[in-house]
Structure 1
């Protein structure tokens, strides 16, 4: 079992080696303003038996959880997903037993996981891969499970470390089939962090206190890192380090908010408001490099709401909403089924946005305006549709739609561009990254909920209030419907009986025939 703890600060922040104390008990120092990432690597034989069976039967299994609370990160820890519980899964051939027991195992680990089986609840991606998503506000059940499986003492340092996951912004769990190890990575947002890590004799712990750097030799596609590294129990003092690597996830240095336009109705419109129409900070000096850069919104929609691919295929309609086109949508999506009749979790949508024409920006640039003034705020609107929901008390139901992940994807203009080599902070298998080429660079736009107006405060979700059948009044609806059907049936029956009593069965037919023949003679 190995552990890596990394504090990543912003450009310009640094910590002197003399401010850090390393001894047999661990490492300590002053508070630092940084993002903290903890990564625990566990060998397969160290896992509980049910987890060994699960991961050996699923060569591709990636679990991502993202908090609904807004948080800030720094480079290179920039890759984002919509808030909630994400799972990407590809079963091994012949492992039907593992597939059938996957949902029950997830429920044991994470608690409120509402899937039944992958065949019923998951959506099919490609090449035999499946996806599952649901809203999950807390990982408290996972914390209890991890404490019971990893900690020997109920109130020891191990329990305290695991309990700290309650304030984490994201949690990633992935299994490496080559090395047969499970990696659990937790991330805390950019804030004041206490620099104190205890050493354990049976656990190799590496601590890094790093910050982004921009040396003169740094290439445009690289991220520079400098700082201090320490291996607890091995080093007597921190060692200075500096390195760089190519990263496909970068900071667009802009933000966006998302909210439903009022009134929502049964066909709500999700409006995205972006603070900049520039792909990335380097675009001012490399305009020829931005020709293949386009903004995208990646949405994970619960089954109560969906996007209509036919509506999003009209070029004129898309242009009126500042949209370019639909790049991907889950197939199939039933456009008529009510929410309570569906078993799949929902759908995934990747839509390309259309920023405003930068012609006006070019004219202002010639007048000597600075870069910040050349950026323009703009909006894009995505039309969505609600399904009929189950009856509820009060006549209204409320459900949440998570913020999308918004980014600029800069795809290579030439074929045969090599994939990015792995780096210490690489994050892959995010769902949308597989929809682009290997050499694509993602410039992430930070989600920032609006302070005022429609929204959910500091949460990265939007609530939708939908009118439904009131269960308290449903008995009157049932009784009224039954009465209307009975009255209609009685009226039809009375008309039939009245005709029979007046003409009889054959008499009425013969009379009609006589009338027809008489009319023909005339």
Structure 2
């Protein structure tokens, strides 16, 4: 087992390296204020049996759980995901062939880790998961995704995280380490058959640590500790970090270090807010209000996009996005992706899929600091009748981000802190046949509600009109800029605005150097306003070309290639 513990603090919160205690099997730190990331690298033999068997039958599996509590991020930990459970996996063979057995194991594994109260939420990947688009036509296996908002897990509070953490490993010492994750912001579990190992990553936002003691879980473990802070980078796309690195059993004293590397995620000053236009009715329109149409500084050809993860009760009609005049009226440019198939008529309670995803390009006005809005049309399904006439469902907020071409001079390298496989990726090709992948990182929860009339309309576009409309334009993106972070700043009678810094995506490296509620009713429509502060995501596209790796040293901080979803 390999352990990598990283503390990142503000420059004014630094500590004296002489206060770091180095003992035979333990490293100690004095009180400090910092964000923390722990990464455990485990072999299959070090995992519980059920998890080990499931992983051995898959090509890649990424399980991510994010708590509902909002938190502040600090570089290089700017990536975000929606509160709840995210699963992305690729079987060794196509579903329906030899991979069928793994399909049964996966939902059983999710239930074991999270103790789902409603077992029907995850039946098998063939039934409950949605497929991800392939990077190329030669790809032999398909990736699948699954998402459950925090409100649909076993209970509120820390119980899902507690269940998850307690079942990830077998040994007592591992349980002790993982149990500390109950106060963390997220836990990631990543496995790739290419390496044959799994990585368990836990992140805590900045807080005051009274004292820290890091020891080996097993005498054969390798333990590495870094205490770092951010410095002013030479290039805007890079992060510059300095501090001290220590390897337990090898270092006699903390070694000073300074390194600079390209980062996938950065922040930007833009803000956006969302609300449903009232009255919502059966066909609600999600209004996205942005504080500025200014693209990221120093970037040309950037495109503004919104990505939505929609639950079963809400769905898009792709045919509405094929009318250029209709899109222009909504300040939209094109629909780039929608999960298929989408049943336009089925009630919510007959659906087995977790939901659907939607990627739409926005059409901002000329660059300015003035606020503007875009409107995304959606549709509601019938919900299961209740005695009160009302029921609720969760709707993640959209991920809004700028997508920009990285250019030949900015080839994405390997970031030791990189966090990828954070959501759906969508591939597109332009007329030059360049391909890039678009990773959507996080979806947020926003409290909104709408009433559903008794009758379900059959859409606003006739089949004839649909057949006459041309498909949307496809684009290639090599790097993304994403809007992240959220903080409530303005309230009015229609909606609450929230501050959202934008995250800039750049180059790639690995290792070191609430809810929205839709109330169903047959009476008058209504819309509840946003009720809580929420974090938002960062996204990025990674280049498909392999670049020369950068090695920072002999320890675990050296750059190495990272497997990704196909």
The TM tier, using the shorter chain, reads 0.7 to 0.9
Contact 2:486–2:498 (Cα < 8 Å) also in 1 = no
Partner SS state of residue 126, structure 2: helix
Q: Which moved more, 1:1-10 or 1:161-170?
A: 161-170
Structure 1 distance, partners of 2:113, 2:497, is: 29
Contact 1:392–1:468 (Cα < 8 Å) also in 2 = no
Please state how far the C-alpha of 1:304 moved relative to its aligned partner. Answer: 0.5
Trace 1:220-239 onto structure 2 (pairs within 5 A): 220-239=236-255
Partner SS state of residue 183, structure 1: strand
Structure 1 distance, partners of 2:389, 2:487, is: 28
Aligned pair in 2 of structure 1 residues 308, 145: CA closer, same or farther (>3 Å)?
A: closer
The aligned length equals: 438
Trace 1:61-140 onto structure 2 (pairs within 5 A): 61-93=61-93, 94-112=98-116, 114-127=121-134, 128-137=142-151, 140=159
**1:260 pairs with 268, 276, 280, which one?**
276
Trace 1:318-397 onto structure 2 (pairs within 5 A): 318-358=327-367, 361=368, 375-397=369-391
Q: Does 1:147 align with 2:183?
A: no
Please state how far the C-alpha of 1:142 moved relative to its aligned partner. Answer: 5.0
Trace 1:268-287 onto structure 2 (pairs within 5 A): 268-280=284-296, 283=297, 286=298
TM-score by length of 1: 0.76
Please state how far the C-alpha of 1:443 moved relative to its aligned partner. Answer: 2.2
Aligned pair in 2 of structure 1 residues 343, 247: CA closer, same or farther (>3 Å)?
A: same
Q: Which residue of 2 aligns with 1:57?
A: 57
Q: Which residue of 1 aligns with 2:545?
A: none
Please state how far the C-alpha of 1:410 moved relative to its aligned partner. Answer: 0.8
**1:176 pairs with 192, 199, 202, which one?**
192
Structure 2 distance, partners of 1:268, 1:449, is: 25
Please state how far the C-alpha of 1:338 moved relative to its aligned partner. Answer: 0.5
**1:315 pairs with 317, 324, 339, which one?**
324
Q: Which residue of 2 aligns with 1:428?
A: 420
Contact 2:63–2:87 (Cα < 8 Å) also in 1 = yes
Q: Which moved more, 1:430-439 or 1:219-228?
A: 430-439
Q: Which residue of 1 aligns with 2:224?
A: 206
Q: For 1:286-309, what per-residue CA distance to the aligned partner results, in whole angstroms no more than 9, with x for missing partners?
A: 3xxx22212222211101001111
Partner SS state of residue 462, structure 1: coil
Q: Which residue of 2 aligns with 1:188?
A: 204
| Structure ranking higher in helix proportion | 1
Q: For 1:79-130, what per-residue CA distance to the aligned partner results, in whole angstroms no more than 9, with x for missing partners?
A: 2233322211211122321112211121011222621011111112234221
Contact 2:337–2:426 (Cα < 8 Å) also in 1 = no
Q: Which residue of 2 aligns with 1:399?
A: 393
Contact 1:85–1:136 (Cα < 8 Å) also in 2 = yes
Root-mean-square deviation (Å): 2.9
Q: Which moved more, 1:227-236 or 1:340-349?
A: 227-236
Q: Which residue of 1 aligns with 2:449?
A: none
Gaps of 5+ in 2: 135-141, 152-156, 429-435, 438-476, 500-513, 524-566
Q: Which residue of 1 aligns with 2:38?
A: 38
Q: Could you say which structure has the larger radius of gyration?
A: 1
Contact 1:257–1:448 (Cα < 8 Å) also in 2 = no
Aligned pair in 2 of structure 1 residues 3, 455: CA closer, same or farther (>3 Å)?
A: farther
Gaps of 5+ in 1: 362-374, 470-522
Structure 1 distance, partners of 2:340, 2:309, is: 13
Q: For 1:131-175, what per-residue CA distance to the aligned partner results, in whole angstroms no more than 9, with x for missing partners?
A: 11111356634533543563655xxx7555433323322222110
Aligned pair in 2 of structure 1 residues 178, 159: CA closer, same or farther (>3 Å)?
A: closer
Q: Which residue of 2 aligns with 1:28?
A: 29
Structure 1 distance, partners of 2:68, 2:272, is: 15
Q: For 1:420-457, what per-residue CA distance to the aligned partner results, in whole angstroms no more than 9, with x for missing partners?
A: 22211112223344536167222231242536454699
Structure 2 distance, partners of 1:457, 1:357, is: 23
Please state how far the C-alpha of 1:399 moved relative to its aligned partner. Answer: 1.4
Contact 2:130–2:144 (Cα < 8 Å) also in 1 = yes
Aligned pair in 2 of structure 1 residues 322, 140: CA closer, same or farther (>3 Å)?
A: same
Q: For 1:372-410, what per-residue CA distance to the aligned partner results, in whole angstroms no more than 9, with x for missing partners?
A: xxx444332222111000011311111121122222111
TM-score by length of 2: 0.71
